[in-house]
Amino acid sequence: IKEEEDLAKAIKNNEFELYYQPQFDLHTNQVFGAEALIRWNHPEKGLTFPDHFIPLAENTGKIIELGHWIVESGISYLGKRKKQGMPEIMLHINLSSKQLSDPTFVSFVQKLLLKYDVPATSLGFEITETSILEDVELAKKMLQTFQNMGICIAIDDFGTGYSSLAQLKNLPVTLLKIDRSFVMDLEEDEDDRKIIEAIIAMAHKLNIKVLAEGIETREQWIMLESFNCDFGQGYYVSKAVTADKFNRGLPITH
Ligand code: G
Ligand code: G
Ligand code: MN
Ligand code: NA
């Protein structure tokens, strides 16, 4: 209960902040986008990570309000960059299942794109296999609408759920994000290498781009590039950073 109240107060007091983790093209080494990752600047506990408070927000229904804040912050950030003449980037925002079963969510997003003068093609939504389970048919329709608008639909943590392949058949998918558990042992584990190569080949046949998560070493980058993986993300290049830091640009290590 205490935590629930905290969460409600934190939204009012503007204690949340979006951090941005760069996403790069493995072939050109260019940063083309970012994943928005929420942080809580807690007045007592300091910088707090979402593993704990996102599930709490989901279980208490607060995720609708918090989700609105997240989406508006992300889109307004894109709008600010555009106004300042900064290079266009793609921003991927994580969605929870509650948001995908909210019938007003599509018009909410449309209004924000207009308000901040942001093209739909600059926006992506990351969904997980569990986030569409609440109301599959409604979620599917909503994702199709978003894709028709030009918004990128990314499957997050691919390979860890229990119906990964079915999802590719059933959902409008633009991008597949290979879970970092496959990337982690790439150098030692031949099976992981084969699995990743197969995922990439399959995705490309379906006209779906592939991003590898959790790239932490130069060797992993080079290997993934040789497998023809399109994009990457991970501590090797950068963790999630504040908007200011992201705007200043980062040296790419590769
Ligand atoms: O850095 P990391 O600790 O940011 O994220 C931990 C988990 O929290 C990940 O599963 C990530 O997808 C989730 N997460 C981070 N930011 C958001 C967000 O804005 N919305 C939702 N729904 N989940 C998020
Ligand atoms: O579930 P999702 O993929 O949205 O979660 C992203 C999570 O992964 C965040 O907690 C983010 O901080 C973390 N992350 C991003 N890059 C790396 C990495 O290279 N290594 C590890 N261990 N975690 C990472
Ligand atoms: Mn994600
Ligand atoms: Na992931």
| Tens of pLDDT, residues 96-108 | 988 998 999 999 9
* Per-domain boundaries in the chain: 2-247
At residue 240, the 3 state secondary structure works out as coil
Model confidence band, residue 176 (pLDDT cutoffs 50, 70, 90): very high
User: At which residue do the structure tokens 């106004």 appear?
Assistant: 83
Our answer on whether the CB atom of 127 is closer than 6 Å to any ligand 1 atom is no
The pLDDT score that the predictor gives to residue 13 is 95
Q: Which spans in 45-85 are helix H? A: 50-60, 63-83
Question: Which residue type sits at 36?
Answer: A
pLDDT tens digits for 54-68?
Answer: 999 999 989 999 999
pTM of the entire predicted model: 0.96
* Superfamily per CATH, domain 2-247: EAL domain (3.20.20.450)
- Strand 46-48 and strand 175-178: the pairing is unpaired
How far away, in angstroms, is 178 Cα from ligand 3 center? 10
- Torsion, Cα 110 112 115 116, to 10 degrees, reads -120
Task: Identify the H or E element spanning 171.
Answer: none
HEC assignment per residue over 101-138: CCCCHHHHHHHHHHHCCCCHHHEEEEECCHHHCCCHHH
Ligand nearest to the CA of 52: 1
Mean pLDDT along residues 8-25: 95
Our answer on whether the CB atom of 37 is closer than 6 Å to any ligand 2 atom is yes
Our answer on whether the CB atom of 100 is closer than 6 Å to any ligand 1 atom is no
Ligand nearest to the CA of 127: 3
Interatomic CA distance for residues 191 and 121, integer angstroms: 35
